[in-house]
């Protein structure tokens, strides 16, 4: 069968069903595959039915229109739904050769460059409210409900995680509100950090994992990337002061973020590390062990949070003093 024609959703799903696809590792809710179409390697993301919707379809399409032509962006080649009863969104893109860095700190310059490009690419873009949102949105609009829903999961060894939520959530919400702008949008990747920058030769980077893409009215990507790009290693959350200084300094230079806002940026990013009931239950539905793994991972984050937040604030103050 000739595969010279452009890929289609139905065509790549046939290859996956026939066992002619490589399942890529991941602990997320969606499934990723590497498929060969003709002589071309493709990345196929099959979103879980619970997170698939017409709004998600429009979000991915609108982001694709804003970012096409960027050298680090793999464009959408096919987009559609699988099945009719419980449809899952399917996204087909070029497969990015290469490998992510074992140490995300090596990619800080690249991450901030992409953040600046995402801001520039959003200029003049209009998006309806259904396409605008990020991990902070639910906590700003319905914190009491979100906290109540997750409470039954935070028993036994996870009680400390519940106490951390109660201690820090008010301050995190205030920081997110201060960083929210009613004017203008940012293109929102949703999970921008070094592991999602694939290096393929000197100076060549591809940003992958666009399944949470949309638009935001606050620097949510930057807040999350601060935590994920500046830690000393995967699975741990001890921040590296040199990496934090590099990240904040470059962010200040490329996006104009004042050093005085660094503490709020870190608090905004910390909202992503709060457990949500829906996310935990969907993880457990995929694999019974993933719920406990995820809650343990979050607990490690909050165990180090106060010290790390002080490190961010201290580093920002030193950078500001040096600039002055």
68-94 pLDDT, tens per residue?
999 999 999 999 998 766 678 999 999
Give the chain's mean pLDDT.
Answer: 90
Instruction: Give 257's pLDDT tier (boundaries 50, 70, 90).
Output: very high
- Is the pLDDT at 30 greater than 90? The verdict is no
**Mean pLDDT value of segment 298-324:** 95
Instruction: Give 167's pLDDT tier (boundaries 50, 70, 90).
Output: very high
- Is the pLDDT at 4 greater than 90? The verdict is no
pLDDT of residue 178: 96
Instruction: Give 203's pLDDT tier (boundaries 50, 70, 90).
Output: low
Among all chains, which residue has been given the structure tokens 């290859």? 15
Instruction: Give 1's pLDDT tier (boundaries 50, 70, 90).
Output: very low
Question: Of residues 285 and 91, which shows the higher confidence score?
Answer: 91
Question: How are strands ordered across the β-sheet holding 99-100?
Answer: 99-100, 197-199, 205-207
Domains of the chain and CATH, by start: 9-94 (3.30.200.20), 99-323 (3.90.1200.10)
pLDDT of residue 211: 81
pTM of the model: 0.90
Three-class SS of the chain: CCCCCCCCHHHHHHHHHCCCEEECCCCCCCEEEEEEECCEEEEEEECCHHHCCHHHHHHHHHHHHHHCCCCCCCCCCEEEEECCCCCEEEEEEECCCCEECCCHHHHHHHHHHHHHHHHHHCCCCCCCHHHECCCCHHHHHHHHHHHHHHHHHCCHHHHHHHHHHHHHHHHHHHHHHHCCCCCCCEEECCCCCHHHEEECCCCCEEECCCCCCEEECCCHHHHHHHHHHCECCCCCCCECHHHHHHHHHHHHHHHCCCHHHHHHHHHHHHHHHCCCHHHHHHHHHHCCCHHHHHHHHHHHHHHCHHHHHHHHHHHHHHHHHHHC
- Is the pLDDT at 2 greater than 60? The verdict is no
- Is the pLDDT at 3 greater than 60? The verdict is no
Are the C-beta atoms of residues 35 and 15 closer than 8 Å to each other? yes
Closest CA relative to residue 94, chosen from 44, 38, 153: 44
**Mean pLDDT value of segment 36-64:** 89
Question: Of residues 26 and 175, which shows the higher confidence score?
Answer: 175
Instruction: Give 113's pLDDT tier (boundaries 50, 70, 90).
Output: very high
Task: Give first-to-last CA distance, the chain, whole Å.
Answer: 66
């Amino acid at each position: 069968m000739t595969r010279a024609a452009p890929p289609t959703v139905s065509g790549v799903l046939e290859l996956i069903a026939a066992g002619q696809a490589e399942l890529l590792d991941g602990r997320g809710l969606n499934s990723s595959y590497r498929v060969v179409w003709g002589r071309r390697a493709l990345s196929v993301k099959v979103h879980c039915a619970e997170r698939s919707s017409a709004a998600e379809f429009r979000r991915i399409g609108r982001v694709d229109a804003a970012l096409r032509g960027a050298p680090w962006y793999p464009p959408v080649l096919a987009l559609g739904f699988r099945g009719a009863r419980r449809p899952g969104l399917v996204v087909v893109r070029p497969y990015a050769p290469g490998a992510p860095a074992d140490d995300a700190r090596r990619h800080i310059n690249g991450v901030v460059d992409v953040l600046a490009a995402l801001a520039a690419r959003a200029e003049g873009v209009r998006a309806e409210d259904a396409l605008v949102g990020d991990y902070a949105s639910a906590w700003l609009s319905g914190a009491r409900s979100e906290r109540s829903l997750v409470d039954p999961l935070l028993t036994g060894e996870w009680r400390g995680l519940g106490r951390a939520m109660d201690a820090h959530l008010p301050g995190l919400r205030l920081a997110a509100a201060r960083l929210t702008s009613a004017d203008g949008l940012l293109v929102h990747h949703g999970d921008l950090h070094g592991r999602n920058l694939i290096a393929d030769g000197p100076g060549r980077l591809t940003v992958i994992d666009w399944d949470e893409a949309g638009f935001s009215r606050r620097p949510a990507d930057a807040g999350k990337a601060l935590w994920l790009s500046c830690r000393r290693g995967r699975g741990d959350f001890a921040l590296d002061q040199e990496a934090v200084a590099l990240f904040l300094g470059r962010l200040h230079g490329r996006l104009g973020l004042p050093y005085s806002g660094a503490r709020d940026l870190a608090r905004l990013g910390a909202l992503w590390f709060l457990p949500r009931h829906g996310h935990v239950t969907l993880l457990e539905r995929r694999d019974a062990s993933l719920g406990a793994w995820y809650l343990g991972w979050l607990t490690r984050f909050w165990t180090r949070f106060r010290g790390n937040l002080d490190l961010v604030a201290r580093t920002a103050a030193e950078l500001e003093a040096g600039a002055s």
